[in-house]
Amino acid sequence: MNLNYKRNNQKKFNTLYKRLLALIFIFFIFIVLILNILTKDKSFSESENRNLKTKPKFSIEKLLYNNFTKKYEQYISDQFIFRNFFVNIKSSVEKLIGKKENNNVYICDDKYLISKFNKPNKEDINEKLKAINTFIKVNSKLSNYIMIVPTKIKTLEDKLPFFAPSYDQLKYINNFYSSLDKNVKKINVFDILNNNKNKYIYYKTDHHWTTEGAYLAYLEFCKTAKLTPKLSKDYNIDTVSNSFYGTLYSKSGIKSVSPDKINVYIPKKEDNVIVNYIEEKKKSVSLYNSKRLNTKDKYSLFTDGNHPLIKINTSSESDKNILIIKDSYANSIVPFLTTNYKNILVVDLRYYANKIQDLIKDNNITDTLILYNANTFFEDESILDISEYDTD
């Protein structure tokens, strides 16, 4: 009798315990749901050092044809409360079990953090080809260039964990180049980067190339554009930070890596510039904002980060004016170009809302350069806006 009584009590206790756990779990989900609804969306993550996804606008057409569901999932993931806390917990657990990848970032040899390269969507590639080719045909009288920069996952692929699956980034770049209009000159920077891969050409904790990597690309651009580059001996190379932890450090949650250093190339014979940030209505006499070195996003030292439109007037004797359509990889190469162009316009289509063609007409543009890193180029859709202008 006592044994049955104990068994019944134990059974009741187990049932009560399970129900209590279920209620706590449901209550937790409810609280998280309410907090996510009430919490204001953030546009930028200081810890991850990047812009966060915003809520996509709903329409039946977007739901059926424009990957609305995927974009909404990315938005929820970016705006989820306590995101940083959960990323760090996940990273710590996976490090304990010896995993070499976290949050799409590989932990590689020599303590490099390398972001994955996702297979590009064929339809997206075709849309981008159509947009760029339309732009090139309309501006066929200009000198047009494109530079899609391979990231670490290709140039430093020998540092990847042996199990890491990886699509051939260079193959996608070359295939894209081969389908472009003949009036655009394709700049191959892989060879020069690959030949110098044992040098410090990419940050270890960030997705960008270093100033050294950008300078190598500048040399290759000048070679293709038949311009005379400023040689490395003509610069004073100064280290302005030894404590840079970049986007991949934040994204991966991996803390057992050393910080990067940031170098700047200052011309021994100074190039005078006036930098006009159009939308922000501010001007500067330098392409470097040293105040940014006191922030998490130290890479924004270059051109003060990303802006919709920057107009740069230089002291160059050149009669050429260039329009650069870019992502953040271009920020550290722009200072080198002040030697070769009288005026430089820098447009980031992720933030710029006006027509590109108006800029070309109003600023006597002679050259255009499309400059993106391969990850951003194949994933981001903003380049499609390059052909959105009146053709009357």
Name the percent of the chain lying above pLDDT 70. Answer: 77
What's the rounded Cα separation, in Å, for the pair 71 and 246? 24
DSSP 8-state symbol, 51: E
What's the rounded Cα separation, in Å, for the pair 62 and 70? 11
Tens of pLDDT, residue by residue over 120-169, are: 999 999 999 999 999 999 999 999 999 999 999 999 999 999 878 778 99
Tens of pLDDT, residue by residue over 293-325, are: 999 999 999 999 999 999 999 999 999 999 999
Domain boundaries of the chain, sorted by first residue:
119-199+270-387
Residues 6+ apart with CB under 8 A from 192: 216, 217, 219, 220
Structure tokens at 125: 């590639």
Name the percent of the chain lying above pLDDT 90. Answer: 67
- What local confidence, expressed as pLDDT, does residue 44 receive? 61
Fill in the amino acid letter for 28: F
Strand pairing partners for 56? none
What's the rounded Cα separation, in Å, for the pair 79 and 82? 9
Structure tokens at 248: 């991949």
Q: Edge to edge, what strands does the sheet with 101-102 contain? A: 101-102, 105-107, 113-115
